[in-house]
């Protein structure tokens, strides 16, 4: 009788133990990687595509085991968008829990050295799930821009180049609200007071900073060039900034501004229209903005690229002096065949 009981016990227990051992071995399946790998899931990615990514990128050791576990845990039919980290010491249970709960790894979003809103939208779409087209649609929407406190022409000044943490699947609206919050924090009391002393709004400071940055090759010239342009604004002279002409023509490769370029009828052509243009000619850096706020005082009203093509400028207080500087530069251009 005892032998029968023992036999029955073994018949029941051994399969349970075997199943448990098998389950543990499956759950403890890891990934054949030696550094963190990221899995990206957007709204169009199928479950099969996720399995392929886990095989190809995360090098999961038992994809069928992950598939069974995902089904048991209710994840298979309920995927969540996002960017998820797969670490070398994780197993498929760890990852499935992470995917099911939507516990993402944030993206360190970076952008700088950007001229146009198209370039900006492309750079952002390369780092986040949102599309370039969706972001541009919002940036071109007058109502959305007004809601943020800008116009469609100057809304790009809201984006302060830096590094920010975002979840990869952040929506366009959430992204814009966060960037407006960052903008408000950047324009603290100190910067607002300095802008007020210049008689400029934060947007106007950024527009001027964008022109200064496009004009200068070297950052140490930023404050001096900013001061020169401020002198022009205060005296009522046209800015006559070559970078605005390049922006108006859409040709940033121009090495020589000719009369035909100056005839481009655009509010961005500061040879034709007085004051600042309606928007920036690039997204200015923090350095550029602060160089306007902390400009170098001088009596300079004119500047011209140096004839040695060093990227630096000759500065002048009088038009007569400026004409001499300009003549030297034109002669250097002619000598090099730059027309």
pLDDT tens for 23-62 read: 444 566 789 999 999 999 999 999 999 999 999 999 999 9
CA distance 242 to 54: 52
Q: Is the confidence at residue 327, as pLDDT, over 70?
A: yes
Average pLDDT (57-77) is 93
Domain ranges of the chain: 31-105, 108-186, 189-298
Share of the chain above pLDDT 90, in %: 80
pLDDT at 19 over 80: no
State the Cα–Cα distance between residues 278 and 252, nearest whole angstrom.
18
Residue 6 binned pLDDT confidence (cut-offs 50, 70, 90): very low
- In this prediction the pTM is 0.87
Hey, which residues does 165 pair with through a beta bridge?
Answer: 108
Residue with structure tokens 């099969």?
Answer: 48
For position 27, what pLDDT does the model report?
64
**What confidence tens digit (pLDDT) does each residue in 199-238 have?**
999 999 999 999 999 999 999 999 999 999 999 999 999 9
| Phi/psi at 304 (5° precision) | -150, 145
Q: How confident is the model at residue 1, as a pLDDT?
A: 54
Q: Name the least confident of 8-17, 108-117, 178-187, 252-261.
A: 8-17
CB 168 within 8 A of CB 128: yes
pLDDT tens by residue, 136-191: 999 999 999 999 999 999 999 999 999 999 999 999 999 999 999 999 999 999 99
* Residue 256 in this model has a pLDDT that exceeds 90: no
In terms of residues, how long is the chain? 339
Residue 30: name the closest of 73, 88, 85 by CA. 88
Q: How far apart are CA 148 and CA 132, in angstroms?
A: 19
Query: Partners of 24 in the beta sheet?
Result: none
Query: pLDDT at position 255, please?
Result: 81
Q: Are 299 and 277 in contact (CB under 8 A)?
A: no
CB 161 within 8 A of CB 286: yes
pLDDT confidence of residue 8: 44
The burial class, CB within 10 Å (0-12 / 13-18 / 19+), for 201 is middle
Region for residue 116 given its phi and psi (left: phi exceeds 0; alpha: psi -120 to 50; beta: otherwise):
beta
pLDDT band for position 118 (cuts 50, 70, 90): very high
Token output for 277? 């243009």
Query: Which carries the bigger pLDDT value, residue 253 or residue 235?
Result: 235
State the average pLDDT for the chain. 90
Classified as helix, coil or strand, 256 is coil
Name 155's Cβ contacts closer than 8 Å, sequence gap at least 6: 139, 145, 148
Torsion sign over Cα 137, 138, 139, 145: positive
**Architecture of the domain made up of 31-105:** 2-Layer Sandwich (3.30)
- Residue given tokens 């070398």 in the structure block: 88
């Amino acid at each position: 009788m005892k032998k029968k009981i023992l036999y029955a016990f073994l018949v029941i227990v051994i399969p349970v133990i075997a199943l448990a051992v098998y389950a543990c071995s499956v759950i403890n399946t890891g990934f054949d990687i030696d550094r963190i790998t990221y899995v990206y899931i957007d709204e169009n990615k199928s479950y099969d595509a996720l399995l392929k990514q886990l095989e190809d990128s995360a090098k999961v050791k038992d994809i069928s085991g992950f598939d069974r576990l995902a089904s048991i845990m209710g994840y298979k039919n309920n995927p969540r968008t996002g960017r998820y980290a797969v670490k070398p010491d994780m197993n498929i249970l760890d990852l499935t829990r992470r995917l099911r709960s939507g516990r993402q790894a944030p993206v360190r979003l970076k952008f700088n050295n950007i001229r146009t809103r198209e370039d900006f939208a492309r750079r952002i779409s390369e780092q986040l799930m949102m599309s370039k087209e969706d972001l541009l649609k919002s940036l071109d929407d007058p109502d959305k821009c007004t809601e943020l406190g800008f116009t469609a022409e100057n809304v790009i000044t809201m984006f302060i180049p830096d590094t920010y943490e975002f979840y990869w699947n952040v929506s366009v609206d959430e992204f814009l609200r966060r960037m407006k919050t960052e903008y408000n924090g950047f324009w603290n009391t100190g910067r607002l007071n300095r802008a007020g002393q210049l008689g400029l709004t934060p947007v106007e400071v950024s527009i001027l900073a964008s022109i200064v940055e496009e004009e200068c090759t070297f950052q140490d010239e930023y404050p001096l060039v900013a001061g020169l342009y401020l002198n022009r604004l205060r005296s009522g002279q046209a800015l006559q900034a070559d970078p605005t002409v390049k922006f108006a023509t859409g040709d940033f490769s121009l090495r020589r501004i000719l009369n035909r370029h100056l005839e481009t009828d655009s509010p961005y052509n500061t040879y034709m229209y007085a004051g600042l243009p309606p928007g920036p000619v690039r997204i200015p850096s923090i350095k550029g903005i602060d160089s306007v706020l902390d400009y170098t005082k001088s009596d300079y009203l004119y500047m011209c690229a140096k004839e040695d093509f060093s990227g630096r400028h000759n500065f002048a207080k009088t038009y007569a002096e400026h004409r001499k500087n300009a003549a030297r530069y034109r002669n250097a251009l002619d000598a090099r065949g730059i027309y």
